[in-house]
């Protein structure tokens, strides 16, 4: 039997013990932080993965950054030891390294796993696994017993091949690069949901991420994209948002507008360029939480 969803005050739990974290019944947040330096500040972000456990099988959503594979593998092992249904599917939102960088190792470690999503190009890197790749388009479902993962419209994306995922069981949206923002390691935000990270300036960190990683947002009407996000959230009746880079959102109504405020602000700023290439004596590794 699985543990009950965590109801204890996560602020009282040491950072290293916060993950795997059950953010909704049978939906587990796993992975680790990545520290990046920008304008003299160290920004902590996630390249998270999520395990969605059904009655018969589990789906891994995203794989984490390649550096995170030992952590992801350890977290998966802990969950399967607790009785989570065996891993049968891997759904990745798109072909970028922080989202699918562990794909080959997942397919090798779990020989029954089927890769699902827009599977363009993966066969070029992994021809030996081509027979385990399953195309999905909008509305297609993966049934794992008692719940399903559906491919839904990717409103905010940076590759044409992106799909977002949606868990029909707990109404959790997996938006890949949507709702992308960093958190403050110094304030103990690692492993917290957005609403617990009370000192986090969500409009600011959301606009910084959009500025650095989603340059196209400067050339479109972000009001229209934010309206589309609202429509999707309402149509699916989304209860929780589980972004790959941001902290999970458990109060959609109050938190989503703060992220949208950041997206709209970034759209009005000139592009400031990519991450600084400063020499980092220790920041690149010190910031990792090794969750
Ligand atoms: Zn990304
Ligand atoms: Zn962190």
Q: Which ligand is nearest to the CA of 93?
A: 1
48 C-alpha to ligand 2 centroid (Å): 11
83 C-alpha to ligand 1 centroid (Å): 30
Residue 83: how many CB atoms within 10 A of its CB? 10
User: Which residue's entry shows tokens 């297609």?
Assistant: 140
- pLDDT at site 42: 78
Per residue in 218-248, pLDDT (tens digit) is: 899 999 999 999 999 999 999 999 999 999 9
46 C-alpha to ligand 1 centroid (Å): 9
pLDDT band at 212 (very low <50, low <70, confident <90, very high): confident
- Higher pLDDT, residue 82 or 209: 82
Q: What percent of the chain has pLDDT above 90?
A: 77
1 C-alpha to ligand 1 centroid (Å): 34
Per residue in 25-84, pLDDT (tens digit) is: 999 999 999 888 877 777 899 999 999 999 999 999 999 999 999 999 999 999 999 999
- pLDDT at site 15: 87
CA 210 to chain centre: 15
285 has a pLDDT exceeding 50: no
Task: State whether the Cα torsion 93-94-97-98 is positive or negative.
Answer: negative
187 C-alpha to ligand 2 centroid (Å): 9
Secondary structure of 189-221 in HEC code, one letter for each residue:
CCCCCCCCCCCCCHHHHHHHHHHHHCHHHHHCC
């Amino acid at each position: 039997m699985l543990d009950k969803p965590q109801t204890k005050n996560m602020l009282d739990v040491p950072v290293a013990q916060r993950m795997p974290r059950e953010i909704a019944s049978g939906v587990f947040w796993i992975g680790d932080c990545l520290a990046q330096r920008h304008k003299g500040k160290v920004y902590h972000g996630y390249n998270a993965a999520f395990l969605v456990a059904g009655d018969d099988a589990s789906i891994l959503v995203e794989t984490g950054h390649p550096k995170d594979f030992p952590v992801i593998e350890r977290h998966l092992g802990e969950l399967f030891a607790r009785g989570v249904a065996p891993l049968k599917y891997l759904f990745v939102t798109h072909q970028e390294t922080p989202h699918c960088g562990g794909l080959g190792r997942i397919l090798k470690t779990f020989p029954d796993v089927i890769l699902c999503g827009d599977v363009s190009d993966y066969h070029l890197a992994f021809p030996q696994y081509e027979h385990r790749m399953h195309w999905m388009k909008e509305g297609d479902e993966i049934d794992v017993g008692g719940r399903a993962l559906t491919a839904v419209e990717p409103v905010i994306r940076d590759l044409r091949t992106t799909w977002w995922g949606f868990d029909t069981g707990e109404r959790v949206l997996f938006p890949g690069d949507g709702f992308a923002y960093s958190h403050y390691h110094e304030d103990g935000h690692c492993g917290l949901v957005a609403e617990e990270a009370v000192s986090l300036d969500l409009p600011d960190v959301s606009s910084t991420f959009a500025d650095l990683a989603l340059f196209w947002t400067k050339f479109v009407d972000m009001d229209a994209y934010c309206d589309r996000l609202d429509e999707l959230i309402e149509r699916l009746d989304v209860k929780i948002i589980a972004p790959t880079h941001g902290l999970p959102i458990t109060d959609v109504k109050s938190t989503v507008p703060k992220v949208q405020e950041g997206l709209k602000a970034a759209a009005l700023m000139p592009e400031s360029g990519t991450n600084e290439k400063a020499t980092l004596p220790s920041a690149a590794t010190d910031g990792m939480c090794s969750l």
